[in-house]
Structure 1
Amino acid sequence: MTSPDRRLLRLGVNIDHVATIRNARGGLHPDPVRAAIVAAEAGADGLTVHLREDRRHITDTDLTRLSEATALPINLEMAATDEMLNIALRERPHAACIVPERRAERTTEGGLDAAGLHNSLAPIVRQLRDNGSRVSLFIAPDAAQLHAAAALGAPVVELHTGPYSHAEGAAVAIELERLQAMATLGARLGLEVHAGHGLTFDNVGPVAAMPEIAELNIGHFLIGEAVFIGLAEAIRQMRAHMDAARA
């Protein structure tokens, strides 16, 4: 930690795509556990991993190894299925972020419908909370979804920043205004607000500047940038962009 103010905005580093590269060829390299250690040394505040149904990213073994190899809190992204619930109850990650998941998608394409899935999500949220994990819901920046998250008793929401990240022209300001309004609403509802998806050095600043947001989760861009400047340097530069915006 370089300054007390840094902790006002945490950086969660998603290391899924280290495992994606490994899985493309098979074998042991590159090892996501090594990436986790590098992330910790470079100033990450936590690790995010998505254990998908098809295991295209990390595997069950990776999750166990990561828990044993680093003291950083692990944020497990998971679908709302019996299989994933049982794994999360066994592994007891610091945080469990429930996300929508479709086998055919390249990456998470939208937010969880917390409002429409209330009855099926309620027992999952309750069991995860009772088991000691901090539950978050990955949702679109939408008032109905925020109210649904609060009603479910999830203490954290992660706002999907994909529409902002991919916006062009006048749409950028519109999406930023939406994110700010929903971050404000989330805080008013007593939720801890996180954000993530598609954030880069170029677009992270306006989101990082929102005082209601406590954490950003960033992965694909950092792993891609690591090809050119190394993972530690990519994380340090992202941390610097976030700190500058928040200051």
Structure 2
Amino acid sequence: MPHPSAIRLGLNVDHVATLRNARGGARPDPVRIALAAIAAGADGITAHLREDRRHIRDTDMARLKAEIPKPLNFEMAATPDMIRIALETKPHAVCLVPERREELTTEGGLDVVGQRDSLAPSIARFGDAGIRVSLFIAADAQQIEMAAQLRAPAIEIHTGGWCDAVVDGHTEKADAEWRRIVEGVALAKSAGLEVHAGHGLDYATAETIAALPEIVELNIGYFMMGEALLVGIAETVRTMRAAMDRGRATLKTRMA
């Protein structure tokens, strides 16, 4: 078993493709950024292939799978077309997310309770293909319990509400959202789920959440791409890795 202090950093490269697509052509290249991030210490790469292909494209997913030496996490809506592409691509993992064409970014967690009947066969198909499934959900007891009932190996807790409240200085809301996360990840761990987290994380919030022993993976993209414009992707990855390690060090202190 991994040491309880182990925590992985997954870099989401969607917005490298957003910048590329604003002008057309091939640059900046998401695969090149992914390789540089891995060289600097990222443990894996996440990319969301949306129905409207607003950033990542099919060829990006194929190249990421073929060219990166670390796990690829294929973020996707559970539609027949995306399921087909993911099964053909054979990434290390898929993360099933809700998706609305008009949204700017993923706005909330997947309704696993309401979509149980449609999600169950998809989770089973990916499992049969040897692809790890995670469900992107809110830190809600009903959603977490349903994820466990559906035998999804992992969940990713949506941290956007907490991160937004922290950044906006809404202390009471941030505290309430944080309590939900703490309770949710404990419940998920007790239910046998591998627990990831992501959405809206920056250096400070990543350091804070890395102190939760149940969480083994953080997936971060937009903030890190913005930082990379200033200092480069390698320095951004190293700084994020250091922030996560500082958070995890508090866990080691508590266990000592």
Q: Is the 8 A contact 1:205 1:242 kept in 2?
A: yes
- Alpha-carbon offset, residue 209 of structure 1: 0.6
- Alpha-carbon offset, residue 205 of structure 1: 1.8
1:164 maps to which of 162, 165, 171: 162
- Alpha-carbon offset, residue 69 of structure 1: 1.0
CA distance in structure 1 between the partners assigned to 2:77 and 2:196 by the alignment: 18
Q: Is the 8 A contact 1:6 1:243 kept in 2?
A: no
Letter in 2 for 1:123: P
1:178 — aligned with what? 180
Q: Is the 8 A contact 1:141 1:160 kept in 2?
A: yes
CA distance in structure 2 between the partners assigned to 1:211 and 1:51 by the alignment: 30
- Alpha-carbon offset, residue 7 of structure 1: 6.8
Q: Is the 8 A contact 1:38 1:232 kept in 2?
A: yes
- Alpha-carbon offset, residue 172 of structure 1: 1.4
2:51 maps to which of 30, 53, 63: 53
Secondary structure of the structure 1 residue equivalent to 2:219: strand
1:246 maps to which of 239, 248, 255: 248
- Alpha-carbon offset, residue 173 of structure 1: 1.5
Matched pairs, number = 244
2:235 maps to which of 233, 236, 245: 233
TM-score norm. by structure 2 comes to 0.93
Q: Is the 8 A contact 1:80 1:99 kept in 2?
A: yes
Answer yes or no: is 1:141 the counterpart of 2:139. yes
For structure 2, the 5+ residue unaligned runs are: 250-256
Q: Is the 8 A contact 2:5 2:213 kept in 1?
A: no
Letter in 1 for 2:187: L
Answer yes or no: is 1:191 the counterpart of 2:189. no
1:137–1:111 CA distance, 2 compared to 1 (3 A): same
CA distance in structure 1 between the partners assigned to 2:35 and 2:140 by the alignment: 36
Q: Is the 8 A contact 2:4 2:213 kept in 1?
A: no
2:98 — aligned with what? 100
1:19 — aligned with what? 17
Q: Deviations over 1:93-115 (max 9, x none)?
A: 10000000000000000000001
Letter in 2 for 1:229: V
2:63 maps to which of 41, 50, 65: 65
CA distance in structure 2 between the partners assigned to 1:204 and 1:73 by the alignment: 21
Letter in 1 for 2:200: G
For structure 1, the 5+ residue unaligned runs are: none
2:254 — aligned with what? none
Q: Deviations over 1:28-84 (max 9, x none)?
A: 000001001101101000000000000111111111111111111000001010000
Secondary structure of the structure 2 residue equivalent to 1:203: helix
2:127 — aligned with what? 129
Q: Is the 8 A contact 1:176 1:207 kept in 2?
A: no
Structure-to-structure mapping, 1:193-208, within 5 angstroms = 193-208=195-210
Q: Structure 1 stretches (4+) deviating beyond 3 angstroms?
A: 4-7
CA distance in structure 2 between the partners assigned to 1:166 and 1:188 by the alignment: 28
Q: Is the 8 A contact 2:9 2:217 kept in 1?
A: yes
